[in-house]
Structure 1
């Protein structure tokens, strides 16, 4: 329950910030172009807070936090006295109206730059994208890896951490080949080429792109002896102690920690014999595994931590920049996100990426909650990503979106007269139906993910 409340709160904050900046872009440029703004609303529906400013604009927060709007004086919907016609939106030039409409998405892009700038000046704790293993028979296994190998660039795009690797591979989805620049185990610069014509992402692969290709990040050695026993846990109740070495569980011998973990998780609530090595002697303890639920699925737990090798210090680093370099990096990363968003929309239209990968408000809320729980810098990164996506989506040439209005203005510029209101009304209905259909698909995907 607390997780749901946390995610909902983070979602409201995220959407509130994005919508406010988007609508402020429209508002600010409209005022600069001499248009009278009647209402500035964050959210839709009935207002829960409202105040009229000295400028005559009504500022309000509405009940439904899934968008917002700026209502401007417009002769097409308002009775405008002759003395105020120069203040109406429709009375302005095509270029002024286009600037007002485009200002919303532009505000989202500028917000992303500023947010990433702030994030990079604070500093982001990161690990180098070092591949520790490659799955047999996977696409990645085509190449001759000398492991461990650090991925330094994908298709010429520099990749300092795993997040950048993930985004770079996403941009390559649908291509015939991807080129990976690596620094191998012998500290040699090498280029690996993978044939990715058969690579597809689907709704069942809720994992990073590099994992679906068969690459696993480097992990320090994990041993089967215990370094920590949780107080009051099933392990503590069974008498498991620190330094015990697990030899067998339920009669099955083990030498690695991973299959032990899998066996524990697969048997919630089961009472099983646990064989450990303590001070050179084998002991068999009876342990009743605990039960925890995640996404409506029950998992077993023992309540111990295995001993691990320390993560190599030379694999750790902090991405932190000064004022100027941070701004340059923020702008560059925003541009890369914009390009990636456009590519992914194109791949959705061509079928390279399945529509089952579309995410709706539930997935956004989950992402907001998770990133916020990791700390401010991670939440800022998530905020920038959603801000860029919001800006790009609003520029799609669909009626009811900013891109649709810009398309009507472009047609008006060519024809030297506005598109008829009848044609616009038909287009709005078609656009509204398409947007509604996309929302239904996205929300359905969210629900299906929750049910899995």
Structure 2
């Protein structure tokens, strides 16, 4: 149950922050954002504020910001259509009633002759006196179809009307916010736990770990392991990690005494499928606000570099698809992190946030990186790619990503349950 709650909180936060980045910078560019959604599928919750509907959907597999102009408008009005019009105080059209006009007895019913809701914002049509009239449309007018309101999207409010830089920033903002969230989490971690100090000192021990069972205590200075002198925390952890299930003799300075303590590191398999030794100790720490901020950004950068290097190894064949983890694997590793305490869970959440940011920046269709790639191609060509062709590429890319997700999920099931 703790694992499930941790997954919901962590993934909800990561997706919320990612989509919030898109939303904030799209709105700053003047793009009409119709919906801000967490999840996919049927709506569980819906709330509209100003121009945007905020929804939570059934399938917690991501989220999206629906910007005007990214998809074809769902409502199309052609000459010959009969529509109803309501007007604001300035005499401009505020409601365009597509059907169920009987429910709007005060609406003016016309037969459309010409309509332009993108550039000129006018409707020309014949009223009941069979006279052709022209009506100005408010830039924030609504369609009303089946009693559901949808705001019109003049061209200057559409995604495609904005400059290349505005569109690129709106797309890049999602992954960027994931990197920023990771930095904030790691800064908070340092403020709570303290910043690690690179000395071979036991900062703390976790309950039920090999260290506490062997008799190691907080504050122990590890002078040597199996006679090998230690200078740094990195020296200490490197020996432990490569000695899973092997007895190590720790020479420990405790106060004025030096004692020898045998410790057998447990074997644990991490997200990279590599088995390492683990005894359950934390590094020594110190507390500093400025130092914590520096630590948070430095750790974020180190994780970014490490994940990119891992992706490079996947491309070169040093890693295979078997090394990748999908939802099942992430669920399992999140459970392990939750069992080790809130601080480990915070670090894991930061790593997941960075992963989400980097994966979304890959130049693959249907991902933010794929959309940035098309913006880059437009900059080179001097004109945009045909929206229909781009849409087909994104659709195919999304389908392939779903296939990859199924393969990775099946690998996870085999690893953890079969």
TM-score, normalization by structure 2: 0.64
Q: CA 1:28/1:209 → structure 2, altered by over 3 Å: closer, same or farther?
A: closer
Query: Residues of 1 paired with 2:388 and 2:158: CA distance?
Result: 21
Q: CA 1:366/1:397 → structure 2, altered by over 3 Å: closer, same or farther?
A: same
Q: Map of 1:284-363 to 2, 5 A cutoff?
A: 317-363=283-329
Aligned residues: 300
Deviation at 1:334, TM superposition (A): 0.5
Q: CA 1:211/1:440 → structure 2, altered by over 3 Å: closer, same or farther?
A: closer
Select which of 43, 48, 52 maps to 2:44. Answer: 48
Q: Which residue of structure 2 lines up, in the alignment, with residue 394 of structure 1?
A: 360
Query: Residues of 2 paired with 1:428 and 1:209: CA distance?
Result: 29
Q: Which residue of structure 2 lines up, in the alignment, with residue 225 of structure 1?
A: none
Q: Which residue of structure 2 lines up, in the alignment, with residue 62 of structure 1?
A: 57
Q: Which residue of structure 1 lines up, in the alignment, with residue 407 of structure 2?
A: 441
Select which of 99, 118, 126 maps to 2:169. Answer: 99
Q: Which residue of structure 2 lines up, in the alignment, with residue 112 of structure 1?
A: 182
Q: Map of 1:207-246 to 2, 5 A cutoff?
A: 207=270, 212=275, 216=277
Structure showing greater radius of gyration is 2
1:206 is the counterpart of 2:206? no
Query: Residues of 1 paired with 2:9 and 2:17: CA distance?
Result: 12
Deviations 1:115-139 (A, max 9, x none): 0000110006989779x9xxxxxxx
Select which of 11, 22, 37 maps to 2:7. Answer: 11
Give the secondary-structure state (helix, strand or coil) at the position aligned to 1:399: coil
Query: Residues of 2 paired with 1:439 and 1:39: CA distance?
Result: 26
Q: CA 1:10/1:205 → structure 2, altered by over 3 Å: closer, same or farther?
A: closer
Q: CA 1:365/1:344 → structure 2, altered by over 3 Å: closer, same or farther?
A: same
Q: Map of 1:138-153 to 2, 5 A cutoff?
A: 147-148=227-228, 150=230, 152=232
Deviation at 1:424, TM superposition (A): 1.6
Select which of 158, 161, 180 maps to 1:88. Answer: 158
Q: CA 1:11/1:151 → structure 2, altered by over 3 Å: closer, same or farther?
A: farther
Deviation at 1:89, TM superposition (A): 1.1
Deviations 1:87-110 (A, max 9, x none): 111110011000000000000000
Q: Relative contact order (C-alpha < 8 Å, sep 6+): which is higher?
A: 1
Unaligned runs of 5+ in 1: 133-144, 154-158, 170-183, 188-203, 220-310
Q: Which residue of structure 2 lines up, in the alignment, with residue 370 of structure 1?
A: 336
Give the secondary-structure state (helix, strand or coil) at the position aligned to 2:332: helix
Q: Which residue of structure 1 lines up, in the alignment, with residue 100 of structure 2?
A: none
Q: Which residue of structure 2 lines up, in the alignment, with residue 412 of structure 1?
A: 378
Q: CA 1:151/1:357 → structure 2, altered by over 3 Å: closer, same or farther?
A: farther
Query: Residues of 1 paired with 2:31 and 2:65: CA distance?
Result: 11
RMSD of aligned alpha carbons: 3.5
1:72 is the counterpart of 2:135? no
Query: Residues of 2 paired with 1:208 and 1:432: CA distance?
Result: 25
Deviation at 1:73, TM superposition (A): 1.4
Q: CA 1:147/1:433 → structure 2, altered by over 3 Å: closer, same or farther?
A: farther
Query: Residues of 2 paired with 1:408 and 1:442: CA distance?
Result: 27
Query: Residues of 1 paired with 2:199 and 2:404: CA distance?
Result: 37
TM-score, normalization by structure 1: 0.59
Q: CA 1:422/1:151 → structure 2, altered by over 3 Å: closer, same or farther?
A: farther
Query: Residues of 2 paired with 1:19 and 1:51: CA distance?
Result: 18
Unaligned runs of 5+ in 2: 76-116, 120-138, 140-153, 202-209, 211-224, 243-249, 254-266
Contact 1:47 1:60 in 2 (8 A): yes
Deviations 1:221-254 (A, max 9, x none): xxxxxxxxxxxxxxxxxxxxxxxxxxxxxxxxxx
